Amino acid sequence: MKKSKILMVIGSLLILGLFAFPLWNITLEAPQYPIPLGMNIHINKFSDVHEFDIKNINLMNHYVGMKYIPETIPEFTIFPLVIGFMSLLGVLIGVFANYKWFLLWFVIMSVIGIAGMYDFYLWEYDYGHNLDPKAIMNFKNPDGSPMGFQPPLFGTKHILNFIAHSYPRSGAYMMFAGMMLTLVAFFVGKKEAKVS
């Protein structure tokens, strides 16, 4: 089997790391929590970093009128199917198709990744801005509008006395590495085609 095909197959299989490792993490630091609260986001669930973290985040959110973090969301059904399909498709392309298909797979996977990040942003925005007006604590901006509590999509942000961190985790790094490998496979395949 050609080197480009091997790289394509390995890259396609690497994205399956999303089934074993978290995709993203949101951590909240505050003086009242000596151990920061953290939530891992997988492609099929939310999980605590430390026991009861999500429960404690939900308790805090209740006071400012934010929604509870749900047990499940529709994306947890959709994302595993999409990732499983794309991995299988990538392996089949790697084994049977011309190297030009490697680039098409990479583009489709990139679009899926961008759509996933946009969906995450919309979820965060709704979560941080669609507040219960009857909340126990009602914070306002200087202009009188309700204060939002949206965590950052990527990076660190100060929200009242909290510092919120939002960063990718090992599942995301495996997906990125797999995608980059398929891009390398395309260029290797292009070079192989010129030589043969």
pLDDT in tens, 53-69: 999 999 988 888 888 99
pLDDT at 85: 98
- pTM for the whole thing? 0.91
Decide which of 145 and 102 is more confident: 102
Whether the per-residue pLDDT at 5 is higher than 90: the answer is: yes
Decide which of 32 and 48 is more confident: 48
Whether the per-residue pLDDT at 192 is higher than 80: the answer is: yes
pLDDT at 64: 86
If 0-12 CB within 10 Å is exposed, 13-18 middle and 19+ buried, where does residue 6 land? middle
pLDDT at 18: 97
If 0-12 CB within 10 Å is exposed, 13-18 middle and 19+ buried, where does residue 138 land? middle
